[in-house]
Structure 1
């Protein structure tokens, strides 16, 4: 079997790629030299005997998966299932009375429970029916609280490594029943085996020999996309190899920190990672494209990072030839796509600017007042790009985003300054001109974003974008009403603007942490 060079598409964070778009992606990466395409589906695929699994989530039907499998095979690409069999299944637990009996805690399945293994059996039966490959990624990452919920109540304190390892053995037995060859994300296994919360930097590999072995029919996937440190990758690859199981490396093409991509950051990290893989003899590789917090970035926006990874796998990369090849394959200009990286301003997320409340100013302390001009110029630069292939709709979205950010980015800062200066004339101008203009531009961005979404993805999940972007506009309308009431003398003060803005962790791109300091929901699901 040829060494794997794959791409993983996240179809679980509200954005389920339309089958026709999956085919388009498969064709593009096949031309780049990839031979594997993974669909990361937590609950977004039909499962035998499980009508609530993926209900209202835009799940793929069995017929669609079979069709995609056949299509990918016809162009020399293996379509590989990438699912979850322990954690990251929070969406199924919203259906009360359906999956309660197989829940340990939060998004984690209950290890040792017969119902859990019946569910996994149904998953594997469906996978075996729909995919021609026998390879399967069964997840098991980030199950930080495994064994600490219902499992703890039933069984009392247990070694958590034993809990996850025994669960893994049972899952692998079911996989063997269907002749499937599983791989898992290695982080949880390594953390528990090494007794560390952060095995990326604090692993004591001396304890590995003391741990029981994992099942024979398993491969470990070391995932890492946060560093350009070659030595770190070498150290971590060697740590994973010490378990004496096949090791796969998973890098990342960054699409999960807002609406904009991070191609150059992905390229820099990939270069170091793939060099380490070559030196450590790790030959199976794939690049993940995650959709954390709502799949707001197009998966096509990181095509440059994917082409770079495919070429870097072979050795040194000729950047001029790379650009020529990108034009040949994608039908678009490399530099035009790389321009989109500029939306993430010095690692200050576009979502921070867009979602931050104009009165609360939770992130205002991080900005210097130059953002409006920056995004106005960037909008014009994006609009001027002519060689964008079939992705004009995507570039229109990013142009409209920048035009919205050109006025929204410092709206709260200007509002607070005028208020503290006692300048009611400036506040009235803001309320009657700038705030309405911001609403208008955000609406234009919303329409372009909606066009992109419905072109690439199923409609299920876009309701979250409706809520978020509609919420931004309605909040601005509310701020207008408050400002005008203050200007007219109806209000003696604006309470939100009386409170000083304090520095806080500005590293988040997560919507619920940006829009309010209040409570969105107590429900962890």
Structure 2
């Protein structure tokens, strides 16, 4: 077996912008862990969660890393032979800063900065000068992705209607110029430039790249082809070729799925990543990293992706024998590979190799009376979570990783009750079976108790790994969930006792969560937006 990574750079990007900002002791543990596997790069994704000179409100109350902390991170990684590359945003994905009045004036719309505004470029200058002081690497990932509404807000009011391609190109030129003055090279997500070349689509199979477009990419800017969604090597081959036609020596970013709720998706991550790495090796892509996003709350522990993290490192060394990889994993970490994979909630509706379904998130927060996701629930789904809880319970005292299994075990305990509670409640109500409803009243009380136990485990996990900032959101979400469950229990009891003559929500028809009208038992889906899961009302 080879011990050498076959890429120039091979790293992991940690998302520290979606409320979970990894604390320093845990981040050092992460550096130790990944350096030992052979990773030589850490990409730290911080939208506004880092201290910037002259910007006291930038990342205020968000758990931002101080400049002292950033230097400590860089020094520690350097001792381990690892380069730390800061990943920031210089166009979109900056919604959190617009909470503060002084940034409203430089907001185009949504989460997008006002391109062309000198105050914006003063802010970006401060960003770069700060990062230059804190990191040895002269590379900065400047983001610039998914700015779909660029130029359609205050920019248009101020400047009139303008071709968004020109806005993007001009803005990139200015950002790259500022970086060059600081002696920095930049990388940027390639989707916006790819859309320009392809007429608006990403992942198309053919695209014509004009010399004029190529000339607009600054010499100190490199493109990143990102793709987390396919296990088809041919797709990666095609997209690497197309992206390379825009700019040579592209970077590639895959994904270890940690961003759809409380549970990881190691199975899906391994399938997609092994196909991607095979393609990168064959197509001589030298700079490769794996993203670990934290969309919509960052509930999932990054360490729960240890199997796919290790598997990917071995694959990047050319070690492709699954049995040998699993054996090496157990020898290194003292726990069987397949046992660790139980964190995927294998054996539940979460288990699917085609798409990372996540009932662990949307059923957790879906209202028992509203039934927004009741159309996905099938007979036996709740029992599968009870069985999964039993398997996870056997691992919750494991010395190093037991806390991860404890969190997922208590989550499964919740879902073993909650998965079909709304379905059973509506069925009993519509049939007028008050005896069945009386039994369900007890289930609501048990559910509230199980949520409290999960909260304790989840809070302990968060406090072990992250700064305290951001857990206030989980307090609101989980506290609100408990309060709502108890409210539903109380209303059921009032109905049984005759104090209420009806429960209007339970008289609403169950509609397919994807908008296809009446439906029953369609099976799990992928949905990760809390505010539109918890209620159909305005939040």
Q: Distance in 1 between matches of 2:12 and 2:107?
A: 31
Gaps of 5+ in 2: 1-5, 515-524
Matches within 5 A, 1:47-196: 47-96=52-101, 98-196=102-200
Q: Distance in 1 between matches of 2:397 and 2:473?
A: 32
Deviation at 1:204, TM superposition (A): 4.7
Q: Distance in 2 between matches of 1:471 and 1:321?
A: 46
- 1:308: which partner in 2? 311
- 1:515: which partner in 2? 534
Residues 35 and 76 in structure 1, CA contact (< 8 A), matched pair in contact too: yes
The alpha-carbon distance between structure 1 residues 415 and 424, as it changes in their structure 2 partners (threshold 3 A), is same
Deviation at 1:220, TM superposition (A): 0.6
Q: Distance in 2 between matches of 1:478 and 1:400?
A: 22
Residues 333 and 387 in structure 1, CA contact (< 8 A), matched pair in contact too: no
Q: Distance in 2 between matches of 1:120 and 1:492?
A: 61
Q: Determine which of 460, 464, 468 is the counterpart of 2:473.
A: 464
The CA deviation string for residues 477-523 of structure 1, in whole angstroms up to 9 with x for no partner, is 11011111111111111100111101121531221121111111xxx
Q: Determine which of 439, 442, 448 is the counterpart of 1:429.
A: 439
SS in 2 for 1:259: coil
Deviation at 1:332, TM superposition (A): 3.4
- Please tell me whether residue 417 in structure 1 is matched to residue 427 in structure 2: yes
- Please tell me whether residue 440 in structure 1 is matched to residue 445 in structure 2: no
Deviation at 1:193, TM superposition (A): 3.0
Q: Distance in 2 between matches of 1:156 and 1:325?
A: 60
Deviation at 1:127, TM superposition (A): 0.1
SS in 2 for 1:105: coil
The alpha-carbon distance between structure 1 residues 467 and 345, as it changes in their structure 2 partners (threshold 3 A), is farther
Q: Distance in 1 between matches of 2:130 and 2:7?
A: 26
The alpha-carbon distance between structure 1 residues 249 and 387, as it changes in their structure 2 partners (threshold 3 A), is farther
SS in 2 for 1:99: helix
- 1:4: which partner in 2? 9
Deviation at 1:67, TM superposition (A): 0.6
The CA deviation string for residues 25-48 of structure 1, in whole angstroms up to 9 with x for no partner, is 011111111000011000000000
- 1:28: which partner in 2? 33
Matches within 5 A, 1:215-294: 215-294=218-297
Per mean C-alpha deviation after superposition, the further-off stretch among 378-387 and 219-228 is 378-387
- 2:23: which partner in 1? 18
The TM-score, its normalising length taken from structure 1, stands at 0.96
Q: Distance in 2 between matches of 1:338 and 1:292?
A: 21
The alpha-carbon distance between structure 1 residues 137 and 328, as it changes in their structure 2 partners (threshold 3 A), is farther
Q: Distance in 2 between matches of 1:259 and 1:463?
A: 16
- 2:519: which partner in 1? none
Deviation at 1:230, TM superposition (A): 1.2
Give the aligned CA root-mean-square deviation in angstroms: 1.6
Q: Distance in 1 between matches of 2:13 and 2:62?
A: 19
- 1:502: which partner in 2? 511
Residues 39 and 82 in structure 1, CA contact (< 8 A), matched pair in contact too: yes
Q: Distance in 2 between matches of 1:348 and 1:206?
A: 37
SS in 1 for 2:224: strand
Deviation at 1:207, TM superposition (A): 4.4
The CA deviation string for residues 395-414 of structure 1, in whole angstroms up to 9 with x for no partner, is 11011001111111111011
Deviation at 1:309, TM superposition (A): 1.2
Q: Determine which of 407, 410, 417 is the counterpart of 1:397.
A: 407
Q: Distance in 2 between matches of 1:171 and 1:475?
A: 47
SS in 2 for 1:110: coil
Deviation at 1:194, TM superposition (A): 2.3
Q: Determine which of 381, 400, 414 is the counterpart of 2:391.
A: 381
- 1:372: which partner in 2? 382
The alpha-carbon distance between structure 1 residues 72 and 348, as it changes in their structure 2 partners (threshold 3 A), is closer
The CA deviation string for residues 397-447 of structure 1, in whole angstroms up to 9 with x for no partner, is 01100111111111101101110111111112211x100000000110010
- 1:523: which partner in 2? none
Q: Determine which of 310, 326, 330 is the counterpart of 1:323.
A: 326
Q: How many residues align?
A: 516
Per mean C-alpha deviation after superposition, the further-off stretch among 185-194 and 59-68 is 185-194
The CA deviation string for residues 249-286 of structure 1, in whole angstroms up to 9 with x for no partner, is 00000011110000010000011111111222212100
Gaps of 5+ in 1: 521-525
Deviation at 1:345, TM superposition (A): 4.2
Residues 5 and 284 in structure 1, CA contact (< 8 A), matched pair in contact too: yes
Q: Distance in 1 between matches of 2:295 and 2:262?
A: 11
SS in 2 for 1:406: helix
Residues 395 and 402 in structure 2, CA contact (< 8 A), matched pair in contact too: no
Q: Determine which of 335, 340, 343 is the counterpart of 2:338.
A: 335
SS in 1 for 2:73: helix
